[in-house]
Amino acid sequence: MPAGQKLKTLRNTRNITGREVEQASRRIADAKGDKRFCISNGWLAQLENGVSEPSICKLFSLSVIYHANFLDLVRLYDVDVDDKEKYEIVADPYLTQIVSDNNDGRNGALFGSSNQCAPPATSLMPQLQDCMPGIICARLGLHEFTMYPMIRPAAFLQIDTNQNKLTPVAWRTEYERPIFFIELRQAYTCGWCELQGNQLLVIPHPSSHESVRRFTYLREAEIVGRVISYSTPCIDRESQSSEATKKSKAVHARSISKIDSEV
């Protein structure tokens, strides 16, 4: 059912006429000293017929008049404030972020867990916390090359926050060396770590060509936890984009060549 029809149904359920909505909204607008909160009877008819969409001020007035939750009315127009963190990743894919529990988890199988306890690729799910307390998920930004090519940009990580201290661990290969997820105050990164006095060293993969970074431990950087699992792309996004561009140019060149030959 369209949003306008739902608002009409809500009004009828409350047994409120369009004229009463107008009168009530005028009182709200007068009290606030802002005519944007006023809803005319004619405009309300347009709204309910889907001709118009409400401003945030008018939607507030309707929520008051209908005794409805404002956010529930906002959701009628496919805007859910609970999706904020989900779309932060979409808005800024270059930023490494911890992901929340507001997504659908459709890519959880990437981590190789059972369906019952599998974490989603884009969120931290409550059932994962129940099965594995202290486990959170994160997504690497498109500019995060610290562990490249072992862990590529856009990879999804499983992090055990119970393992947030640097302790001596015997390792033989780079795959056994503990990788940690680090908070850098307004940013995140992941990498191998060493503690030298009060300096936390974030050590990159030797093939990444990144430099070792030093931070004052706890003041500038803090270990969130150990990376215990990751799902990483096999092909760099840049490579995929480059290949697609080459194919597109090749198709375009063939089309031009065909047109020239016909001419």
- pLDDT (tens place) for every residue of the chain, 263 residues total: 899 999 999 999 999 999 999 999 999 999 999 999 999 999 999 999 999 999 999 999 999 999 999 999 999 999 988 888 778 778 888 888 887 654 444 344 344 433 334 333 223 333 354 457 899 999 999 899 999 999 999 899 999 999 999 988 899 999 999 999 999 988 999 999 999 999 999 999 999 999 999 999 999 999 999 999 999 988 876 654 454 445 444 544 554 454 445 44
Q: Which fold has domain 84-235?
A: Umud Fragment, subunit A (2.10.109)
Looking at residue 16, what is its pLDDT? 95
Looking at residue 238, what is its pLDDT? 60
Looking at residue 98, what is its pLDDT? 83
User: What tens digit of pLDDT does each residue of 112-124 get?
Assistant: 433 334 333 223 3
Looking at residue 225, what is its pLDDT? 96
Name the phi and psi angles at 43, rounded to 5.
-70, -35
The model's pTM: 0.58
Angle (nearest 5°) at CA 122 between 119 and 124: 45
Q: How many helices (H) and strands (E) does the chain have?
A: 8, 8
Looking at residue 168, what is its pLDDT? 87
3-state SS assignment for residue 139: strand
Cis check for the bond before 149: say yes or no (omega within 30 of 0).
yes
Where do the domains of the chain lie?
Answer: 3-75, 84-235
Name the residue among 223, 156, 234 with its Cα closest to residue 193.
223
180 C-beta neighbours (distance < 10 Å), count: 21
User: What tens digit of pLDDT does each residue of 163-184 get?
Assistant: 999 988 899 999 999 999 999 9
Architecture of domain 3-75: Orthogonal Bundle (1.10)
The Cβ-side half-sphere exposure at 165, using a 13 Å CA radius, reads 3
Looking at residue 176, what is its pLDDT? 94
Looking at residue 122, what is its pLDDT? 27
Looking at residue 101, what is its pLDDT? 55
| CA 126/CA 131 separation, integer angstroms | 9
Which tokens in the block code for residue 22? 């107008």
Looking at residue 106, what is its pLDDT? 38
